[in-house]
Each structure stands twice: as structure tokens, then as C-alpha cells.
Amino acid sequence: MPRTLTPLLLAVLAIFTAQQLLTPLFPVLTHDLDLTASQYGLVLSISAAALALSSPLWGLALDFLGLRAVLIAGLALCVAGLAGFAAAVTLASGETLTPDLAFVAMLVFRSLVLGGGLASLPVAALAVAGTSYEAQRTGAVGLVGAASGLAAVLGPLVGGGLAVVSLMVPLYLAPVIALVVAVVVLVVVRPVPPVEQPPRFQPWEVLPAFGAGFLLHLSFGLAEVVVILLVKDRMQTDISAGTTWLVPIVAAVGLLGAQAVLVPLLRWPAGRLMKIGAPVALAGYAVLAVAPSVLLVALGFLVVGLGVGLAVTGFAAAATLAAGPRHQGLVAGLVNATAGIAVVVAPMASGLLHDVEPNAPVIAAGVAAALATGLALLPIGPSRVRIPV
């Protein structure tokens, strides 16, 4: 793998963990700052939209301006967004800001500034991973997804633990972490000229891969949003909060295991990862749809995580194989935007479907996975290329 990739992976892990430190604080802050549930949802939705929409722009900037310029701008936005959010909450808590002004400040700093800045890091890491040799490509791409996935697990756990001491500890710690990471990355990262490798196939050959990737990200989001409600509704008994949260944690373990362990060990071509991962995810949704116990729901979601982890890594690797080194930034931006758009759409769609029928989001997730399986079976370019061992 390129030497530059390791510090970028650590930067993705650290910055996304810093952002996720704030996740356990939102329910409490929403109450303390007199914000409505819809305002809280809007902060998260606009953040996801900012990440999705800015990703292709970061990709173009990386291709034209270079890696360091993107890192400087992106990390500066991350520091400013986290620091601005902390300042807004502090001023609102002291009643210096009204609830309406606090909400506007949260939208600006937490949603727009931080959301846009965050997108730069996975785009940069994925673009660098896309310049690795073919034999290492899927493993390198998988590690990018694993870094952000691990942050999604670590951040809330650490943030929740620190919030027991004081809500202000994770709030102030997050921008400090971002600032330290920014300094270290800008000192350590020195772009290395990529190995000239021509595209293995034509760009239009990856259109089915983009379709499958979007559907799999969407399916996972549809199920993830309602899985805890599904457990409570289906069991119809009082179960502990720790038991219900076991299910999404198990799914995250499945994703991490697939991207960080299975993909590097298997060394399968990108097309094969999609062809096998998508039906595995579909099988997991079938278990979720009928599982009568918490353990079986967790097992089903573990299978989903494994399948989605394999397939979306194959999708991202397939996209990188359709571009040469000078266009990896744009490809990385489009891959990140594909995942980001699914994150924007899934919560709203899942909530609406759940209001109609509690099991509907899981059924919809299964339909999306089935469509992704069909697209994965199409003759995508990388499926015809055997990656050498």
C-alpha cells in the first residue's frame, strides 16, 4: 500500500471518532437548549447532505490542487466546525444565545462546516488507496471503510463515558483532537508520486457497481434506523437498553470484520466481492424479517454487516479500477457521495415505512439488497479481471 495511506487512515479514524464523541450528547443538548426533535433531525440530515454534496468537489480539488491542499482545507473546516459547535453550545447554555440563534449556529458549524470538512478525509484516503497495486487494491479500499466504521463504534462509547463526568468534556475534547490530528497529518503526510497504472476497463462498465453500492448502503441504513424498534416491537416484553443496543453493535462488528479482516485475507477481485457480498446481505435481511428472538435478530444483522462490508468494498474498488492515478480524486468523491446520499435518504424513508408497517423497512432493505444482487451479477469490468496473488 502507498506509504501515505497509513497516516490518512489514522486521521480518518481520529477525526470521525472526534465527531462521534458528540453523538451521545445530542438528546441531552436538545432538551437543555429547548430544541425540537425536528430541529435535531435537521442538524443531522443537513450534515449528511453536506458530506455527500461536497465529496465530488473535494475529489476534483484533489485531482487539480493536490493532496496537501485538500487536507489543509478539509482539516481546517473540521477544527472550525467542532470549535464553533462547542462555542455555540456554551453560549446557549449560558443564555447568551437564544434557542433560535443556537439552532442556527449548530446548523452552520455542526452541519455545514463540519459536514463539508469531514468529507475531505475519506475522499483523500480512498483516492490514495486507489493508486495502490491491483493485488492490494481491495484490501486498501476496505481499510478506509473500516477506519470510519471503527470510529462510529468508538466515538459514542468514549463520548458517553466522558459525558458521565461532564457534558462539556467531549464537547471541548473533540476540537482539540481535530487540531492535534491536523498538525500531525500536515507534518507527516508527504504525497508520493503514484504508480502509473492505466484503467483496467471503461468508466461506463462500473455503472452497475455504483447502482449496487447505493442500494446496499441504502438497505443497511433502512434496517439500522429501526432495528432497535423492531426488537422491542417483536419481543413485546421489557428488555434492557443494553440488550437492544447489542444488535447494531454486532452489525458494526460484521462490517469491520469484512472490511478490515476478510477482504485483505481473501484477496478477491472487486466483482467477486460484490457477487458474494450482496446475496449474503440479502440472506441476513431474510433472517431479520422473521427472527423471533434478540439473538437471532443480532445474528441476522451480523450477516448483513458481513455481506454489506464485502460488497461495498468491492463497489469502491471497482470504481477505482476504472480511472488512472490522475483521476482517483473524482472517483473517490463519487464513491463517498454515493454512500452519503444513501445516509440522507435512509432515515426519512425508514421512518415513513415503519409508520405504515413495523417490518416494512426490513422488507424494503431486502428488496434493495435483491436489486443490488442482480446488478452485481451483470458483467462489471473488474469481475473479469483476476487480481494476482
What's the mean pLDDT in 343-366?
89
CA distance 347 to 349: 6
The three cell numbers of residue 335 are 464513491
The three cell numbers of residue 158 are 468514549
pTM of the model: 0.88
Classify burial at 27, counting beta carbons within 10 Å of its beta carbon; exposed 0-12, middle 13-18, buried 19 or more: exposed
Phi, psi values for residue 285, rounded to 5°: -65, -35
Which band of pLDDT confidence, cut at 50, 70 and 90, is reported for residue 244?
low
CA distance 240 to 293: 14
14-18, 43-47, 244-248, 333-337: least confidently modelled range: 244-248
CA distance 322 to 331: 9
Which residues are CB-neighbours of 351 under 8 A, at least 6 positions away? 225, 226
Instruction: Report whether pLDDT(283) > 90.
Output: yes
CA distance 58 to 333: 6
156-165, 233-242, 284-293: least confidently modelled range: 233-242
Scan for cell 462490508, then name that residue: 309
Scan for cell 488507496, then name that residue: 129
CB of 113 within 8 A of CB of 209? no
Which band of pLDDT confidence, cut at 50, 70 and 90, is reported for residue 378?
confident
**Alpha carbon of 263 to those of 236, 259, 275, 343: distances in Å?**
38, 6, 14, 23
- What Rg do the C-alpha atoms of the chain give, in angstroms? 20
pLDDT at 234: 64
The three cell numbers of residue 370 are 435483491
Scan for cell 464523541, then name that residue: 21
The three cell numbers of residue 331 are 472517483
385 or 334, higher pLDDT: 334
Our CA dihedral for 104, 108, 111, 114, rounded to 10 degrees, sits at -150
* Helix H or strand E segment including 176: helix 168-188
pLDDT at 40: 79
From the list 270, 260, 385, 256, the residue with the least C-alpha distance to 331 is 270
DSSP annotation of 130: T
How many CA atoms, within 13 angstroms, populate the side-chain half-sphere of residue 57?
11
CA distance 14 to 261: 20
How many CA atoms, within 13 angstroms, populate the side-chain half-sphere of residue 121?
31
Mean of the per-residue pLDDT values of the chain? 86
Which band of pLDDT confidence, cut at 50, 70 and 90, is reported for residue 51?
very high
CB of 330 within 8 A of CB of 299? no
Instruction: Report whether pLDDT(49) > 50.
Output: yes
pLDDT at 199: 65
What's the mean pLDDT in 338-354?
89
102-106, 111-115, 331-335: least confidently modelled range: 102-106
CA distance 285 to 344: 21
The three cell numbers of residue 274 are 460484490
Residue type, 208: P
Instruction: Report whether pLDDT(321) > 60.
Output: yes
Q: b/e map of 105-136 (b: 16 or more CB within 10 Å)?
A: bbbbbbbbbbbbbbbbbbbbbbbbbbbbebeb
CA distance 88 to 104: 9
From the list 126, 151, 120, 152, the residue with the least C-alpha distance to 140 is 126
